[in-house]
Structure 1
Amino acid sequence: MAQATRDVVGDILELLGTLTPGQLRRLMRDLPLKYRRELIERWQGWAQAGQCEPPGDWRIWMIRAGRGFGKTRAGAEWISEWARMLPEARIALVAANDADGRRVMIEGPSGLLAVARSDEEPRWREGLRELHFSSGAVATLYSAAAAENLRGPEHHVAWCDELAKWPHGEAAWDNLVMGLRLGDAPRVLITTTPRPTSLMRRIMALPGFEETRGGTNDNAYLPSNFVEAMVASYGGTRLGRQELDGEMLEDVEGALWTRGLIERCRVDADAIGKPARVVIGVDPPATAHGDACGIVVAALLRDGRLAVVEDASVEAPPPHVWAQAVAGAAARWGADRVVAESNMGGDMVASTLAQADLALPVVPVHASIGKARRAEPVALAYERGQVVHAGAFAALEDQLCGLQVGGGYAGPGRSPDRADACVWALAALLEGLRKRKAPGVTRI
């Protein structure tokens, strides 16, 4: 919104706030219908501080807030105002997936159709994935899960919803901002409940970034019994601080890995030398087009340390694709074996890998009985300085920091595919070291 328009609206609303109830009733009674409707439908008169566009020459505005704060309403109102002010506007709406975008951003109770004024008739065109505003502005809905669709289109402004849960966040964000090049001052609004992902931290460190905050308690329009129940159940807990108060908590409570620990274990990839032994950990997807396939390469170094040297994971691949990715990693690093989670069936995993001409031994592990037992000694090896990361592996490290004591997971995505694969590989190398150091039996 232009600064001059915002200032005038603010002055009018401030003046109205000084009137007594009687004066306000008389004013509203004497105003023509057009102006009464305008005052009632003016978002600035109802918005909370954290929902209002910040002043200044910013490029990225993030509303980082808890559930029920009113993030969606603020995003929909901001986009609607741009559509009124700029009839030629081309707008990007980016959600985690198509279903969330339509259900929340377009058709939800606080979405773009719901916040339209009484004299506006925006039309949703399902086949085009476009919302056509009365002014002529057009908003296109994109899914972060299909990041390539953002490659090419140009936009004046964008609204990104729940960025912290985007499945292909880095690629979707990069493609989006490269297309924000229409008009004099392209801008993007992010509305999200925070999670400590690498993309969130990266965006928050960018120049031209502004942030407003808020929590569930700040929304005076929520039912009081709902707020009381949420505070009673989650107030003061880690989950409550994140989901209700909108705090971005860097380390998961009870996490086996912390970000500080991983940073202390990081070394330059060129400094590790030729490994003495290499193992590949694999966490196959449960279905042909399910989650990612975790593929992590770990090595025993000549000095006795272990190193994570590559994250070769692939997203939602069919079996032949992830098998080829494993075979490729094995060839690059000269691996001597593959350790694979076999909940989908040990024979099936071995058969799939054999079809990719992978002749290495495949050692099956069973997550249901072994995940926590294997992860905890691996985390302890990090604490001892026995494991290093040869480079940076953002997606893998986000997942490692979500693994908890006892086998729980509170990181990004539904399943820690990459982290599990990493644990399998490192656990196998640790087991090999343990056996090598075990005392032998001398026959007399």
Structure 2
Amino acid sequence: MKRIPEQEIEQWPYDWKVWGRTSQQAPAGDWRVWLVMAGRGFGKTRLGAEWVRKVAEAHPDARIALVGASLHEARSVMVEGESGLLSIGAPWQRPVLESSVRRVVWPNGAQAFLYSAGEPESLRGPQHSHAWCDEIAKWDNSSNRAMAVWDNLLMGLRLGEDPRLVATTTPRPVPLVTRIIGDGDDVVVTRGSTFDNASNLPARFVQAMERSFGGTTLGRQELLGEMIEDLAGALWSRSLIENAREEAAPPCTRVVVGVDPPASAHGDACGIVVCGIGDDRIARVLADCSVEQASPERWARAVANAAGAWSADRVVAEANQGGEMVGAVLRAAEATLPLRLVHASRGKTARAEPVAALYEAGRVRHAGLFPKLEDELCGLMPGGEYLGPGRSPDRADACVWALTELMLGQQAEPRIWFE
């Protein structure tokens, strides 16, 4: 029986061909760009880092670009993260980070350089043999910045005999991702879902993701790795909302809870959306506290809880259906509720356009992910038609009321109305 060399035995625990899934291995063929679009938790970061490691260990003269949404993310995720370059491979072959010059150096001399997608000019001039771009769908799309970063990177990808680039991302229909997919025969696309890697993820995480995003359009994107296209002509688009997204909101000087009460306990959901505004005069969607198939007492209590949790200055509730009963139910849940009842004119077409215009102007942001609300917003069409999930956009209606109260005052009467 042939004896296995000791060096192979030592390398075996770090051999990505052994431990990585087939979908995480570089595809065969003469490709220039490998685009990996997959759900959260698929293992995209590990895939990208292992590809870079293989290149660096095989090519001592490799000069690799590492491009993240920001320098912080490039370092904390791509280099120093749990699946980053400093954490994988045999310990004696791992690189070191020279943070002062934004450089990663392997023992054999291969080098990688950190760049921010927010600084297109930093990639004008440097040359590379390979590149790894992470989460390209969240790169800054303002002023065509993401496109400029990509173009500058490609123009400098000219060292060595076979320059190649890997881009890893959660799929979102932003201009850069759409362009790459349509770029031609030298682009290979790999798709995957969160559940492909379920055996390596905590069961609670998988369950929480299914509970929060299962059955939603955003879940198809964030978990299943599908590219969700926008409805032509819709008031809101996925890219519009993505460009407005931030991880957390700054302190708010005023908070409003918008409420769209259901017609019955067995009908539509009760839309309850919390929005706030800060010193920068930009409104933020803070929470979606909507409840489904709730009795009047239950949805009224949910409104009171949301107002209390966010220290709301105002609760704006539509009273078209139920009239004074809406106010009575809400005050029964909390007598001190800062309530204002509003009425929408019957028979009119949708009045969400002024609020959509605020998004277009960059005056509204989403402090987090709100899958069901965002699905409804992206289903609103000019003229009042609704093509989103469910019979009625209750969450979107509540959001429109809250943002109108914060940003438009008495200038407009919001209403998502269907004839």
TM-score range (shorter-chain normalised) is 0.5 to 0.7
The answer (yes or no) to whether the contact 2:216–2:375 under 8 Å persists in 1 is no
Q: Which residue of 1 aligns with 2:159?
A: 182
Q: Which residue of 2 aligns with 1:105?
A: 78
Give 5+ residue unaligned stretches, structure 2: 239-248, 251-276, 282-313, 317-341, 343-348, 367-373, 378-395, 414-419
The aligned runs of 1:10-409 (5 Å cut-off) are 31-167=4-140, 168-207=145-184, 208-219=186-197, 220-251=199-230, 256-257=235-236, 377=351, 379=353, 404=377, 405-406=396-397
**d(CA) in 2 for partners of 1:105 and 1:182?**
22
Q: Decide which structure has the larger Cα Rg and report it.
A: 1
Q: Which amino acid aligns with 1:169?
A: A
**d(CA) in 1 for partners of 2:15 and 2:36?**
20
Shift, 1:407, TM fit? 7.7
Number of equivalenced pairs: 276
**d(CA) in 2 for partners of 1:49 and 1:236?**
27
Shift, 1:254, TM fit? 12
Shift, 1:172, TM fit? 1.0
**d(CA) in 2 for partners of 1:82 and 1:63?**
17
Residues 134 and 406 of structure 1: is their aligned pair in 2 closer, same or farther, counting only changes over 3 Å? farther
The answer (yes or no) to whether the contact 2:192–2:225 under 8 Å persists in 1 is yes
Shift, 1:70, TM fit? 0.5
What per-residue deviation string (whole Å, max 9, x for no partner) do you get for residues 315-371 of structure 1?
A: xxxxxxxxxxxxxxxxxxxxxxxxxxx97589xxxxxxxxxxxxxxxxxxxxx999x
**d(CA) in 2 for partners of 1:87 and 1:107?**
21
Shift, 1:378, TM fit? 6.8
Q: TM-score, normalised by structure 1?
A: 0.54
Quick one: percent identity of the two aligned structures? 44
CA RMSD, aligned part only? Answer: 4.1
Q: Which amino acid aligns with 1:200?
A: V
Shift, 1:55, TM fit? 1.1
Give 5+ residue unaligned stretches, structure 1: 1-25, 260-285, 288-341, 347-367, 388-392, 410-419, 432-444
Residues 182 and 379 of structure 1: is their aligned pair in 2 closer, same or farther, counting only changes over 3 Å? same
Q: 3-state DSSP class of the match of 1:131?
A: strand
**d(CA) in 2 for partners of 1:69 and 1:120?**
26
**d(CA) in 1 for partners of 2:353 and 2:223?**
30
Q: Which residue of 1 aligns with 2:243?
A: none
**d(CA) in 2 for partners of 1:345 and 1:131?**
38
Q: TM-score, normalised by structure 2?
A: 0.57
What per-residue deviation string (whole Å, max 9, x for no partner) do you get for residues 234-257 of structure 1?
A: 222122111111111122899624
Q: 3-state DSSP class of the match of 2:93?
A: coil
Q: Which residue of 2 aligns with 1:271?
A: none
**d(CA) in 1 for partners of 2:106 and 2:399?**
46
